[in-house]
Amino acid sequence: MKLSATLLLVVSVAATALAVFTHISEIPTSCVASKVVQTRNFTTTTGEVIRIDTKTCSGGTGADSGHSKRQTINACVAETINFSCVAGAGAGPVAGDCDNLNTGIIEAFEAAGDPTLFTVNPQTVQTFTLGTCQFAWINENTAAILEFCFSEITAVMGPQLINGCIVPGDTAGVARPSGTGIPATTLDWVFEVLHS
């Protein structure tokens, strides 16, 4: 376990060094969360509480709304993740809170026997919040249910945005997928690290 965590950290740091970040002036508003449809908490072994919320985007229902009969599409297949840092749009989260959130998600959802994926209904956002830091994974699709892997958040996107945007003092970090030859539906999401 310790070796895998160390290896994960080395891979994450190496990936951060290779990532190219663009800078933008405001956080994209693909989802204006309008209604919390589910909240639950997870207390880490250090006593910190991670709040996990499912929220609808304006126009979305967040509820199953018959979507359970539709196929769930795995969105962990992007060829490229494009990273942007948001500068000058207000206070950013404390980097230590983001590091603790990332570690807490690993503790909560990546132990042996845990599900490796989470599912998000159309026009819905799944948020993970600890202290000043919030991770938000947004399903921008209007019809498809998307599932995503926790490890992609904790091993790649979280550390990339924390180290590439939050540590240097930017307001937020945004990750968007891209790829060719991949169904467009699997690319219909965005991940954000921002102030809670």
| Predicted confidence (pLDDT) per residue in 44-87, tens digit | 888 999 999 999 987 655 455 444 567 788 888 767 889 999 98
In which region does residue 90 sit, left (phi positive, over 0), alpha (psi from -120 to 50) or beta (all else)?
Answer: left
Any idea where the domains of the chain sit in the sequence?
2-195
d(CA 22, CA 184): 23
Decide: 37 and 95 in contact? Cβ < 8 Å.
Answer: no
Torsion of CA 160, 161, 163, 167, to 10 degrees: 180
Q: State the DSSP string of 10-63.
A: HHHHHHHHH--EEEESS---S--EEEEEEEEEEE-TTS-EEEEEEEEETT---S
From 71-80, 102-111, 129-138, 170-179, the region with the lowest mean pLDDT? 71-80
Q: State the average pLDDT for the chain.
A: 80
- Would the pTM of this model clear 0.75, i.e. be above it? yes
Model confidence over 6-23: pLDDT tens digits?
333 333 333 434 466 676
